[in-house]
């Protein structure tokens, strides 16, 4: 978006929508290795690794130069809130579902 619209990272406004919370997202060690414990993307509890997807997304945006004040993170956990689908919670046998939405508002 920065390249195509000649914008600046520092001018982007980013919203991170509902997602699974870290307490309910255990991952294997090989996946955990790809994320940062120092930046609190990975938490270790009882020798299990838990991934904070929202925290990882925020850290990546900050690394790109987006200002923290321009990042809004939904507090909704798709695992805890039954109004949302959660693959980890619902364990469907015949459904594959993921969603990502990107929007651009050009002023």
Decide if 100 is inside a domain: no
In a domain, 72, yes or no: yes
Quick one: tokens of 68?
């923290």
Per-residue pLDDT of the chain (107 residues; tens, 9 = 90+): 667 767 677 778 899 999 999 999 999 999 999 999 889 999 999 999 999 999 999 999 999 888 999 999 999 999 999 998 888 898 877 666 566 666 666 55
95 lies in some domain:
no
| In-domain check, residue 38 | yes
Q: Is 49 helix (H, G, I), strand (E, B) or coil?
A: strand
**Domain harbouring 8, CATH code:** 3.60.140.10
Q: Is residue 102 part of a domain?
A: no
For residues 71 and 79, what is the distance between their CA atoms, to the nearest angstrom? 22
Domain count, the chain: 1
Q: What is the pTM of this model?
A: 0.80
The domain containing residue 22 runs over which residues?
Answer: 2-90
- State CA 28 to chain mean position distance: 17
In 3-state terms, what secondary structure has residue 80? Answer: coil
Structure-token match 């949302």, residue found: 84
């Amino acid at each position: 978006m920065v390249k195509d619209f000649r914008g600046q990272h520092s001018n982007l406004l980013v919203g991170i929508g509902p997602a699974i919370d870290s307490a309910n997202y255990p991952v294997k060690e090989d996946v955990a290795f790809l994320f940062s414990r120092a930046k609190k993307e990975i938490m270790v509890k009882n020798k299990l690794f838990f991934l904070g997807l929202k925290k990882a997304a925020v850290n990546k945006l900050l690394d790109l130069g987006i200002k923290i004040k321009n990042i809004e993170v939904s507090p909704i956990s798709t695992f805890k809130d039954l109004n949302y689908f959660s693959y980890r919670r619902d364990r469907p046998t015949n459904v594959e579902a993921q969603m990502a939405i990107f929007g651009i508002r050009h002023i």
